[in-house]
């Protein structure tokens, strides 16, 4: 797949990102990062490099919690599927 070059603005600086994802998607990701960095910048007085690291740590935390929740939901779904696939026992104990 061909890479698309997209120029985005994050924390007041322009970056050119080469990606196989659509320009719309890259802009969405960049807007999210920019928004999170601005939020953290308003709450702290950190230099840009530390602000970027804090943003990355927060993003990794969100991602890992989301993955854990996906695994939990997948296990719950698998359990429910297993219960539905087992034949129900007849009321007198005979197989259905």
26: nearest Cα among 37, 13, 10: 10
Residues in the chain: 96
93 or 63, greater pLDDT: 63
pLDDT at 90 over 70: no
Amino acid 92: pLDDT? 65
pLDDT at 5 over 90: yes
Q: For 7-10, which contacts have Cβ atoms below 8 Å and span 24 or more sequence positions?
A: 8/34, 9/34, 10/34, 10/37
Separation CA 46–CA 57 (nearest Å): 14
pLDDT at 91 over 80: no
> For the segment 10-64, what is each residue's pLDDT rounded down to a tens digit?
999 999 999 999 999 999 999 999 999 999 999 999 999 999 999 999 999 999 9
Sketch the domain layout of the chain as residue ranges: 4-85
């Amino acid at each position: 797949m061909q890479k698309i070059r997209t120029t985005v603005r994050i924390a007041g600086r322009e970056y050119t990102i080469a990606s196989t994802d659509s320009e719309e998607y890259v802009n969405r990701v960049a807007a999210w990062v920019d928004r999170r960095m601005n939020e953290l910048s308003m709450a702290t007085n950190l230099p840009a490099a530390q602000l970027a690291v804090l943003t990355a740590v927060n993003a990794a935390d969100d991602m890992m919690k989301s993955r854990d929740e996906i695994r939990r939901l997948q296990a719950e779904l698998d359990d429910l599927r297993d219960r539905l696939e087992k034949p129900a026992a007849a009321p007198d104990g005979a197989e259905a």
